[in-house]
Structures are given as structure tokens and as C-alpha cells.
Amino acid sequence: MSTPVHHSNVRSQPDGIREVPEDDFAEVARIVTDALLDDPGWQAVGPDDRARRRRVLLPYHRAVVAVTDGHGGPIYGAYRDGALAAVAVTFAAGRHPPPAYTFARYVPPFLRAGPATIARALRASATQDKGHPDEPHHFVWQLAVDPPHQRSGLGRALLAHTGDHAEAPLYLDTANPANVPYYASCGFEEIGSAALPRGATMWFMRRP
């Protein structure tokens, strides 16, 4: 099934990259979900059925945006033709991890998905947490381009914008092997890797 083309249902924004207003937070979650729905990491963690996987990812990413807004940030967006087209959900240096109690925000969609998904998600979350470097870093938690706008340079532009405004090295992780050379071309170096469920791998990458 092809991914439907969505457009922001909030007020039109001027084109460019800037911090995303709260009115667009629902669209941030939708873009991250649609962009990562078939990501190897989420295929390793989420339900096998694509529709069920989306029902887990969308509320999870809504929680991610809410926690980031409350305890991290900034959340950057790239606007094209007046609509949000790509996003970078980040934690500036010193802001990650958020308080432990925020973990409860992510739980409900996984509970509905069943015990196997819960077990895989907990394992993946622990793996992700252990990958962070010890030194201060600006964590790019989610970098996503809306499918209709992919391969248009928006991901690179968001990483460049984030780096220009960061006060520490950028850090991110990915479970998509195709992203490793992509991030390397953006100045990131691999600093480690770890196993995920179902034979997937997570790579940890840092940009000085």
C-alpha cells in the first residue's frame, strides 16, 4: 500500500527552517511515523503488520514530541510550499535524558501491541540509551523527511541547521544500514554499534 500524501492542516508557514510551533506538533509526529514506518529498526521492534505498526508508532511519536517539547528541544522543521516537510526532534546538550517518569508516556501504544512487542521495545530502548557518548552532545533523536519530499536535500539541510545552532557535537543513532554512509557524508563518524531484536543492528554516530 502506498503512503498517502499528507499536508499540514494548520496555518501556512513561510518556507525555510525554524523551530516548529506547537500548532504543528501533531504534524511532526505524523511525518516521523510515515518516514520511519518501514525503517529496519521499527520492523525489528514493532508488529509485523504494517497497519498495526503504524497504530503503535503514531501515538508513540506524539509522546516523543511532547516529552521533547517539555524537557528537551529544539524541534526544527523545514517548510516547503507553506507546509511542514521535514523535522529534526533534538535534545540540546545537557537536556538528555528527560526525567525517568516521562517513560510512562511511551507505554500505552506498546501495551496495546502485546507482550512480544513490549519485550522487543524494552530491549531496543536499553540498547539506544547505552549508545550515548559520555561527553556532552546534542542528540538528534528523530530526523525525518515526509515521504513526498524525500531525496530533496531537506535532511542534510536540517542537520546543517542543527549543527550550526548546537553548542556540542551532534549525536544520533540509526538502525538503517543505508543511513550509515549517508550520515558519514554529512560529517558523522561511527562510534559503535549494537544488536537489536530480530537480527537488526543499531549504529551510533557522532559529528565533531
DSSP string, 124-152: HHHHHHHTS-SS--EEEEEEEE-GGGTTS
Q: d(Cα 205, Cα 208) in Å, to the nearest integer? A: 10
Q: What SS3 class is residue 80?
A: strand
Q: d(Cα 50, Cα 52) in Å, to the nearest integer? A: 5
Residue 75 pLDDT exceeds 90: yes
- Tens digit of each residue's pLDDT (9 = 90 or more) over 90-131: 999 999 999 999 999 999 999 999 999 999 999 999 999 999
What is the predicted pLDDT for the residue at 10? 43
C-alpha dihedral sign at 154, 155, 159, 165: positive
Q: d(Cα 2, Cα 50) in Å, to the nearest integer? A: 11
What is the predicted pLDDT for the residue at 113? 95
| Average pLDDT value for residue range 136-154 | 97
| Average pLDDT value for residue range 188-193 | 98
Half-sphere exposure at residue 17, Cβ-oriented, CA atoms within 13 angstroms: 21
| Average pLDDT value for residue range 70-85 | 97
158's grid cell = 536540517
Number of helical (H) and strand (E) elements in the chain, helices listed first: 7, 7
**Average pLDDT of every residue of the chain:** 94
Output the CA angle 51-141-108, nearest 5 degrees: 45
Global pTM exceeds 0.85: yes
Q: d(Cα 193, Cα 174) in Å, to the nearest integer? A: 9
What is the predicted pLDDT for the residue at 183? 98
> What are the sequence ranges of the domains in the chain?
16-207
Could you tell me the fold of the domain covering 16-207?
A: Aminopeptidase (3.40.630)
Share of the chain above pLDDT 90, in %: 93
Give which of 97, 82, 98, 76 is closest to 28, Cα–Cα: 76
